[in-house]
Amino acid sequence: MPIQSINPASGVLLRSFTPLTDEELQQKIALAHDAFTHSAELPLPHRELCMRKLAHLLEEEAAELAALITSEMGKPITQARAEIAKCAAVCRYYADNAARILAPEPIDAASIDASVRWDPLGVVLAVMPWNFPFWQVFRFLAPALMAGNVGLLKHASNVPQCALAIDTLVRRAGFPRGCFQTLLIEASQVEAVLADERIAAVTVTGSESAGRAIAAQAGWLIKKSVLELGGSDPFIVMPSASLDAAVTAAVEARCINSGQSCIAAKRFLIEDSIYNDFESRFVAAMDAMKVGDPALEDTRIGPLATAAQIEEIHQQVQAALHAGACVLTGGERMLGRGFYYEPTVLAGVPRTSQVYRQEIFGPVAMLFRVADIDEAIAVANDTPFGLAASIWTRNRAEQARFAAELQCGAVFFNTQSASDPRIPFGGIKRSGYGRELSAAGMREFLNAKTVVIAQPKPAP
């Protein structure tokens, strides 16, 4: 079947691509393997120059690249430009910090001369999603190439033009041929790629089902894997918080990328004494969000990325209503062309319902009233996911408890959750394992090789 690029704002087919044949796929894997065998010939300062050139290209061509994102997956244009800028930032972060991260670490072991050196693993397969079609790739690409690894990208099938654009940018930046390649293949071909003995590791960002399947195969093959999967992140507001700031951030945190973000706030846990005030303000702000053409500067929420996505969201909203929830605003598909869904707020979703346990990947928020910090922590942790949490409190004692007791990969106080090149990103439970970004992300695909040099014994 062809790989198709469809404009979600109109439903119009943009381009169609033929998947690689098995023979073409083997040629690309061979090229990647050959590139890695010669990677030691490319010194770190040269990789730094290429990575800075890549950042420069991203910034110089931000308008065209952002327009491509918007046309292919519907991201509002202002957010698409911000995504490209973030990709340039992660390139510069690793260009600036790779030497420090990769430097051998001496071990203080008394009479033993020992150290740890960080060596690249080889060819890494990256299976990436459509929701941040450049950023998700670059947060793998930048540390992998700076470390001397080689990347093969299997991108989501609905963003093939973004995938090819990234491939071209890497080559234009000066990285040697084969260091990074896009594989236009179907999901059914991933198993054969991962099984190839020349593939050293795999990283997956995407659905829980995709993560399970690929991680199971990687485990059987005894290959390193990193998973960044779904999230049902809590956004908790306590009485000491600035309610104005919390409401503004809550709307942004739920609607970023039209609600299609793993780290977006999805469950809003509001302390009882401020719940009514928060609810009225939040619902009004959600209802006022401008939905429309993602190419327009003032659009806040664009279409969902695919027809299947909008169908899934609507089924989840209907399931919540059937379970006993109520709609405070929204709750319907929007008429006309394109894959649009109303900004929606649900209240009273039973914690025993199936939809409560699921990730809702669109502009749909669930509100919950909690009595105190104990209930807030209990409800926040009552999820199969564990990616991040955004907590709004100025009480130091509450901050300490939330930081210690919340079951997730990151806790953000008085700001919304977000990824940043400087800090580790990843989750626990069904949100996955391993980390991206920062030194931790670079070292996921490095061999921590211990080196011990024994001192000669004195002659008798």
Kindly state whether residue 459 falls inside one of the protein's structural domains.
no
pLDDT for res 108? 86
Q: Is the pLDDT of residue 455 over 90?
A: no
In a domain, 68, yes or no: yes
SS (H, E, C) 144-155: HHHCCCEEEEEC
Does 263 lie in the same domain as 405?
A: yes
Instruction: Kindly provide the residue ranges of all beta strands, DSSP E only, lying in 184-254, ordered along the sequence.
Output: 199-205, 224-228, 233-237
Residues 313 and 441 grouped into a single domain = no
Residue 220 lies in a domain: yes
Q: Using a pLDDT cut of 70, give the percent of the chain over it.
A: 100
Q: Are residues 28 and 67 in the same domain?
A: yes
- Tens of pLDDT, residues 91-107: 999 999 999 999 999 99
Helix/strand/coil for 360: coil
Residues 287 and 200 in one domain: no
Helix 62-73 with 160-172: angle, nearest 10 deg: 160
Say whether pLDDT at 278 is over 80. Answer: yes
Considering only residues 336 and 72, tell me which one the structure prediction assigns the higher pLDDT.
72
Number of domains in the chain: 2
The candidate with the shortest Cα–Cα distance to 210, out of 232, 188, 195, is 188
pLDDT-derived band at 254 (thresholds 50, 70, 90) equals very high
Q: Indicate whether 437 belongs to any domain.
A: yes
Residue 457 CA to residue 103 CA, distance in Å, equals 29
HSE of 276 in the Cβ direction (CA atoms, 13 Å)?
1
Q: Is residue 137 scored above 90 in pLDDT?
A: yes
Would the pLDDT of 457 be above 80?
no
Q: Are residues 145 and 259 in the same domain?
A: no
- CATH number of the domain at 343, please: 3.40.309.10
b/e map of 81-95 (b: 16 or more CB within 10 Å)? bbbbebbbbbbbbbb
Q: What is the pLDDT of residues 339-348, one digit of tens each?
A: 999 999 999 9
Give the Cα separation of 258 and 260 in Å (integer). 6
Question: For residue 238, is it within any domain?
Answer: yes
- Sign of the torsion formed by the C-alpha atoms of 166, 169, 173 and 177: positive
Q: How would residue 383 be classed by pLDDT, with cut points 50, 70 and 90?
A: very high
Determine whether 455 is exposed, middle or buried from the number of CB atoms within 10 Å of its CB (0-12, 13-18, 19+). Answer: exposed
Query: What mean pLDDT do residues 126-147 have?
Result: 98
Is 101 contained in some domain? yes
What pLDDT sits at residue 346?
98
Domain containing residue 188: 3-229+431-451
Is the pLDDT assigned to residue 353 strictly greater than 90? Answer: yes
Any idea of the CA torsion for 185, 188, 191, 192, to the nearest 10 degrees? -60
Residue 54 located in a structural domain: yes
Phi and psi angles of residue 69, each rounded to the nearest 5 degrees, phi first: -60, -45
- Asked if residue 355 and residue 245 are part of one domain, the reply reads yes
- Please determine, for residue 172, whether its predicted confidence score (pLDDT) is greater than 90: yes
Q: CA nearest 122: which of 220, 202, 42?
A: 202
Q: Are 96 and 117 in the same domain?
A: yes
Same domain, 203 and 243: no
pLDDT at 40: 78
Q: Is pLDDT at 30 greater than 80 in this prediction?
A: yes
Give pLDDT, residue 273: 98
| 454/362: higher pLDDT | 362
Task: Tell me: do 324 and 350 sit in the same domain.
Answer: yes
- Could you list the active site residues? 228, 262
In this predicted structure, the answer to whether residue 229 has a pLDDT above a threshold of 80 is yes
Let me know whether 217 and 305 are in one domain: no
pLDDT (mean) for 235-262? 98
CATH of residue 54's domain is 3.40.605.10
DSSP 296: S
Residue 419, domain member (yes or no): no
Q: Is the per-residue pLDDT at 336 higher than 90? A: no
* pLDDT value at residue 152: 98
Show the CA angle centred on residue 212, arms to residues 208 and 215, nearest 5°: 130
Cβ 426 vs Cβ 228: under 8 Å: yes
pLDDT tens digits, 97-135: 999 999 999 998 877 899 999 999 999 999 999 999 999
Q: What is the mean pLDDT of the chain?
A: 97
Q: Is the pLDDT of residue 288 over 80?
A: yes
Judgement on whether residues 335 and 213 belong to the same structural domain of the protein: no
Mean per-residue pLDDT for 175-194?
97
Name every residue whose Cβ is closer than 8 Å to that of residue 388 and which is 6 or more positions away in sequence.
Answer: 231, 233, 263, 408, 409, 410, 411, 412, 417, 427
**Residue 134 shares a structural domain with residue 47:** yes
